Amino acid sequence: MIVVMKDNASKNDIEKVVKRIEELGYKTHISRGTEITLIGIIGELNREELIDSLGAYPGIERLVPIQEPYKLAGKSFNDSRSRIKIGEDVVIGGKEVVMMAGPCAVESEQQIINTARAVKKAGAKILRGGAFKPRTSPYSFQGLHEKGLKYLKKAAEETGLKVITEVMDPRDVELVARYADIFQIGARNMQNFFLLKEVGKTDKPVMLKRGMNATYKEFLMAAEYIMSEGNHDVILCERGIRTFETYTRNTLDLVSVPVLNKLSHLPVVIDPSHGTGQWDLVGPAARGAVAIGADGLIIEVHPEPINALSDGQQSLKFDKFEELVDDLKKIARAIGRDL
């Protein structure tokens, strides 16, 4: 961190700032230019504490952060890419692009088992399905809760798939852990810090979705919350951000994949279903996602989208999903990956 003093800062202003920094336990390095004085702060930095502590000092023009504040999620912590194992056979972050698929919500035993069989046959490794649904309206279908988790687990066991499902309430972490192989944290909960800490105390992988208005850095700081509790198996998931454009449900930021690869060692999964909100855009977005380097895709698939209890308009039918996976295999091979 560098403190840039205002050009009219007095000697006294500068001394006060230096004193305060040293009180906080850091060393300083002062560099006086003809017009401007810079104060370098040396030591194991707590950036937010520094900003809080220095923010109101007169004479300070601005604080310039130099190093990133996400120690565990950042590139410097782990130069090679993290490979996250789900059970014995599935690795996210390796050569294979991993397909996760299933309905938005678990609606019935029959629905989820049929979907599990279809997505397994098409090539998926992980079954998705919500038992707790975050809905904008309190009057909408909120999920089957534990019954839904049971159906999901049963469908997965029968087909040999792994299970990913969302947890929304810190009080439900233990319950969901009994059925899931991967916790999903939804976009609306990306900064639900108590929930992050709670899954951070478990030993199950966590797929963290990017908040609709979260910068890359805030996204990695949220991952850091989980990791700082001891659980390093975090998978990042881009699912679209909110912009001025309303034609699509969200604006899918595919370039987040190479950006997050520059900043972090964690694997990155793309959700083209929420990212676009329209089933006929899911295929093109998925093709772009594989080519740009995603480590996995999570796609909504439903036996009968027109009868779905939620997100029917963005769900693929079984045959469309199978065709799409075939297309994606060709693109994966073209860039030297498996699928």
Q: Which of residues 188-217 bind a copy of itself (CB under 8 A)?
A: 188-189, 191-194, 197, 211-213, 215-217
Q: Identify the helix (H) or strand (E) that includes residue 268.
A: strand 268-270
Interface with a copy of itself, residue 291, by CB under 8 A:
yes
106 with 134: CB under 8 angstroms?
no
Interface with a copy of itself, residue 79, by CB under 8 A:
no
Residue closer to a copy of itself by CB (options 171, 178) is 171
CA distance 102 to 28: 55
Judged by CB under 8 A, which stretch of 77-85, 151-159, 174-182, 311-319 contacts a copy of itself? 311-319
Interface with a copy of itself, residue 69, by CB under 8 A:
yes
Residue closer to a copy of itself by CB (options 95, 242) is 242
Residue closer to a copy of itself by CB (options 85, 171) is 171
What per-residue string of b and e applies to 172-198 under the rule 16 or more CB within 10 Å gives b?
bbebbeebbbbbbbbbebbebeebbbb
Q: How far is the CB of 7 from a copy of itself (least distance, A)?
A: 8
CB atoms within 10 A of CB 313: 15
Interface with a copy of itself, residue 151, by CB under 8 A:
no
Q: Which of residues 100-139 bind a copy of itself (CB under 8 A)?
A: 134-139
Residue closer to a copy of itself by CB (options 86, 106) is 106
Interface with a copy of itself, residue 285, by CB under 8 A:
yes
Structure tokens belonging to residue 168: 């929304």
Q: How far is the CB of 247 from a copy of itself (least distance, A)?
A: 5
Centroid of chain to Cα 211: 8
Interface pick for a copy of itself out of 78, 114, 159, 313 (rule CB under 8 A) = 313
Judged by CB under 8 A, which stretch of 47-55, 81-89, 110-118, 149-157 contacts a copy of itself? 47-55
171 with 194: CB under 8 angstroms?
no
Interface with a copy of itself, residue 31, by CB under 8 A:
yes
> Strands 37-42 and 27-32: what pairing?
antiparallel
Q: How far is the CB of 58 from a copy of itself (least distance, A)?
A: 8
Q: Identify the helix (H) or strand (E) that includes residue 235.
A: strand 234-238
Interface pick for a copy of itself out of 276, 301, 325, 337 (rule CB under 8 A) = 276
DSSP letters for 80-137: SPP-EEETTTEEESSSBPEEEEE-SB---HHHHHHHHHHHHHHT-SEEE-BSS---SS
What is the DSSP secondary structure assignment for residue 261, as one 8-state letter? H
Interface pick for a copy of itself out of 225, 234, 296, 297 (rule CB under 8 A) = 225
Judged by CB under 8 A, which stretch of 35-43, 77-85, 89-97, 110-118 contacts a copy of itself? 35-43
Interface with a copy of itself, residue 13, by CB under 8 A:
no
CA distance 208 to 195: 11
3-state DSSP call for residue 319? helix
Interface pick for a copy of itself out of 12, 108, 110, 307 (rule CB under 8 A) = 307
CA distance 189 to 130: 15
Q: Which of residues 250-269 bind a copy of itself (CB under 8 A)?
A: 251-255, 257-259, 262
Q: How far is the CB of 42 from a copy of itself (least distance, A)?
A: 6
